Amino acid sequence: MTSCDFQIAKQFNFLRSMTEVERAELTKTSSPRHLQKGEVLFMEAEQLQKLFCIREGACKFSKIDEKGKEHITKLLGKGELMGRRSLISKKGAMVTATAITDTTICSVDKLPVLRCLMKNTDFCMDVIKGFVEDTEEEAKRKGLFDNHQSITKRLAGLLIYLDEKFGTERDGTLKLFLKREDMANLIGTSSEYVISILSRFKRGGLLDLERGKIRLLDKKGLEKMC
């Protein structure tokens, strides 16, 4: 099976911190996998035997509460890793990972990664830096659409976040297309209210809606709103 090139990984600098022997061992156990939109990569509490990196596309982390309602905790894009905490702690996954677009994943067996952690201090430091970056990303996310703000401000912050994290298509629409239900889940409201606020933003000249896709027309206006 074709191996993966992990140069795309944002949080592990494989080429710099691994020896040639370690890289060869890692690559030997790696393989690509294509996920259809909506396909689950791993489930909450699952014992993971692999580390995953997004090659193309996007995924979401989510948890299910006691009432069976899904709560999205994180959005991940190209180059981001999944399964680090579970791999290192040897505990089950804390979240369910699901593709929210057609997505290509690179996976690698956990054993060569664990061996590098024990023997290679530079690689170990890269792992620690990755967790620090996760913390910074979480702080930024909360700053843009934190639950203590009004729903309108949270939605404005979410749109800015999607623009900055995932970018736009050539036609200017947001590259990551989120269902209104997912947007509502992220900011803690109903999909009907999200639709209502988006329509209000459109009337105010802040954005344009085209077959469900969103094009930001006045990003500064949305930032002021936050």
Greatest distance between any 2 Cα atoms in the chain: 59
Mean pLDDT calculated for residue range 32-61? 94
Q: What is the pLDDT of residue 1?
A: 41
Q: Please say if the pLDDT value at position 14 is more than 60.
A: no
30/206: higher pLDDT: 206
Q: Please say if the pLDDT value at position 101 is more than 90.
A: yes
CA distance 7 to 211: 35
103/79: higher pLDDT: 103
Q: 192 falls in which pLDDT band (50, 70, 90)?
A: very high
Q: Which residues contact 126 (CB under 8 A, 6 or more apart)?
A: 11, 12, 13, 17
Q: What is the pLDDT of residue 198?
A: 97
16/87: higher pLDDT: 87
State pLDDT tens for residues 125-138: 888 888 888 888 88
87/62: higher pLDDT: 62
Q: Please say if the pLDDT value at position 30 is more than 90.
A: no
Q: What is the pLDDT of residue 5?
A: 60
Q: Which two tokens stand for residue 211?
A: 């077959």
CA distance 130 to 9: 10
CA distance 64 to 26: 33
Q: Please say if the pLDDT value at position 27 is more than 60.
A: yes
87/161: higher pLDDT: 161
